Amino acid sequence: MGYSSETYMQAKTALERQRIKNEQQLEQRRQLLFSRSPRAKEIEYAIAKTSVAAAKAVFGGKDLKMELAKLKLNNQALQKELADMIAGFGLPANYLEMWYRCDKCRDYGFVDDKICTCMKALLRDIEYQKLNAISPLKLSDFDTFSLEYYSKAPSSERPVSDYTHMSMVLGFCRRYAREFSENSRSLLFQGGPGLGKTHLSLAIAKAAIDSGHGVIYVSAPAILHKIEREHFSNKTDNETEQTITECDLLILDDLGTEFTTNFTVSSLYNIINTRMITSKPTIISTNLTISDLQEKYNIRMISRIIGMLDRVEFVGTDIRQLKKMKAKE
């Protein structure tokens, strides 16, 4: 599954609007030409009449071959006169033809029952909009991730400085995004708040969308609350849970901040476990330490989170706080 049914419906609606716009623009071009040359309107009407005359000739008693040849010559003369007129005004030769945003599919989104490249691009654009709407940041990319707030001083907790460590994290995330596929490993982004977990996960999301994959970015509290509402409202389709378990890449942010109940823990386990079983990549980010996670979740959950996700540790000092301090200076 690349995209949700809602995304496809939005794309279909956008293409329908584009086709209507194409027709409106053609009509505007026609009326503009007619206002400059009434003769152009006469020619267009005469060309239409030759088509009607040709149809009548087929069912008439006249010499069909001779009549059609005569109509063809008349039609060609009219077409040439109109083409010369359009060229004389300095307009493009296809001025009175429908202009499509995509000539391959004519703005229907499919070519021979196969999805067109323009449709793929439109689906990606819709996913961009969704991510921008639901994420705490605008859609991020790697070039806007700054290392200047990470200390270059030696660290007592690891063999390299925070700056060097996060440089390696940035490089790892770039490679992961560049090589992303449906067989990519799942990741656990773990570290305190304000260290860049959301920024880099969104940068990976952007790269994955660019390569044609369906990405869903959600916070754990928001999505679990939505699933819980659907469940207790007796909805039977479980659309939300199905969508996030089937997408190409799920990014689950703020794990551990959700309100914990038996239902939320069970739902969370089902989501993670289903994606692990089907080998679908998942990126989970959390501010909790490993020991905090072990205290919060049961053994089954921990075995999935810690045992089956590659841990990427984020280090340093809360960048948001550092920026506030710098702004006050």
Closest CA to 315 of 201, 144, 203, 155: 155
What is the model's pLDDT at position 49?
A: 84
Question: Residues of the chain with pLDDT > 90: what percent?
Answer: 50
Most confident of the ranges 54-63, 150-159, 316-325:
150-159
End-to-end CA distance of the chain: 50
pLDDT band, very low/low/confident/very high, at 128 (cuts 50, 70, 90): low
Specify the pLDDT at position 1.
43
Using the predicted structure, report yes or no on whether residue 123 has a pLDDT greater than 90: no
Q: Could you tell me where the beta strands, DSSP code E, fall in 209-297?
A: 215-219, 249-255, 282-286
pLDDT score at 124: 77
Q: What pLDDT is attached to residue 270?
A: 92
Euclidean distance between CA atoms 162 and 149, whole angstroms: 9
Using CB atoms within 10 A of its CB, is residue 274 exposed (0-12), middle (13-18) or buried (19+)?
Answer: middle
- Dihedral Cα 81, 83, 84, 89, nearest 10 deg: 130
Q: Residue 20 CB: number of other CB atoms within 10 A? A: 11
